Structure 1
Amino acid sequence: MFIPGILITIATFPGVIIHELAHQLFCRWFKVPVFKVVYFQPSNPAGYVQHEIVSNKWHSLLISVGPFIINSLIAMIVAFPTALPVFKFDNANIADYILIYLGISIAMHAFPSIGDAKSIWQDVKDPATPFWAKIVGYPVIGLIYIGSIGSFFWLDLAYGVALAVGIPNLLVNILA
């Protein structure tokens, strides 16, 4: 079944917004000036953050992968309160299902974009980049491209369901 990516992006817009907020948050943490932020638009790219060129390669890498960290954490936090009513007590209400939807949509947009991979590539191919940053950066670039290809096969949805449904359900089963 083929569904145009823009329809998925519109349906999961909370994840796009959190993704861009994560980039912006990491820029602020590292005191990198931000020139423009588009949190969501129904086109490609769905959102973006334009910021100053980052001289510190570690900071640049973290700004690029920040959404993976932030979106993943927020998705689990948002969806976790629904685990007991949905999976154990079978007394979920509409708010529980809205939280699951939010968790899944936020997690679906955790993967860094191809633009983020290109930014990391520019950093790691620079001769001045420290060796350790290259050791971390090259595999990250590969994982981003694998994630991008995987999104065609619904990897992003599988990741979203795993974080927003699977992990809370697993924790409830372990702890309850």
Structure 2
Amino acid sequence: MFIPGIIISALTFPGVIVHELAHQLYCRALKVPVFKVVYFQMENPVGYVLHEKPKSLLHSALICLGPFMINTLLGFLIALPSAIQYNLGAGMNILDYAMVYLGVSIAMHAFPSTGDASALWQAAKEDDRPWFTKVIVLPIIGFIYLGALGSFFWLDLIYGIAIAVGLPWMVLQWAA
């Protein structure tokens, strides 16, 4: 079943907002000036961060991958208390379901976009460092494009569920 990306983004808008916020936070942490941030809009792209060109290829990679790290961690941490409560036998209430939705929504937007991959590719092409430093970045770019292709097959949703439902369950099973 095909559902347009804009509808999915609207249903999971908290994840889009956190994705763009993660880009912005990495820009700030790396002292890369940010010109404009659109956290969410009902058009393509649904969100973006315009910033100055980073000083190095490493900074470009960190800004690109920031949402993967932040959205994954936050999606897990938001859903974890609900998993703990469920695991203790207390069941789940409406707030728990909302927290799991929020965790899945945030985690499913962890993958960098093709726009992020394009920016990283451009940074790699323009970088004047030796070729072997660029070779390190090329697999990252490839994985980003594979993730974008995988979203056609709901890989992003599967990832979100794995992080916000599966991972807390595994951690609690391990801790028991």
TM range (shorter): over 0.9
C-alpha distance after superposition, 1:47-72 (max 9, x if no partner): 00000111211111101111001101
Instruction: Measure, in 2, the Cα distance between the counterparts of 1:155 and 1:133.
Output: 29
Provide structure 1 residue ranges, at least 5 long, that are not aligned to the other structure: none
1:77 partnered with 2:71: no
Amino acid across the alignment from 1:18: V
CA contact (8 A) 1:20 1:39 kept: yes
Per-residue deviation, 1:127: 5.3
| TM superposition score normalised by structure 1 | 0.95
CA contact (8 A) 2:57 2:127 kept: no
Instruction: Measure, in 2, the Cα distance between the counterparts of 1:132 and 1:30.
Output: 23
RMSD value, Cα: 1.3
Q: Which residue in 1 is equivalent to 2:100?
A: 100
Instruction: Measure, in 2, the Cα distance between the counterparts of 1:35 and 1:80.
Output: 35
Q: Which residue in 2 is equivalent to 1:50?
A: 50
Relative distance call for 1:42 and 1:56 in structure 2 (3 A) is: same
1:147 partnered with 2:147: yes
Q: After the TM superposition, which of the residue ranges 127-136 and 69-78 deviates more from structure 2?
A: 127-136
Instruction: Measure, in 2, the Cα distance between the counterparts of 1:85 and 1:92.
Output: 7
Per-residue deviation, 1:88: 4.6
Partner SS for 1:36? strand
Partner SS for 1:125? helix
CA contact (8 A) 1:114 1:144 kept: yes
Partner SS for 1:35? strand
Instruction: Measure, in 2, the Cα distance between the counterparts of 1:11 and 1:101.
Output: 10
Structure 1 segments of 4 or more deviating over 6 A? none
Relative distance call for 1:63 and 1:89 in structure 2 (3 A) is: same
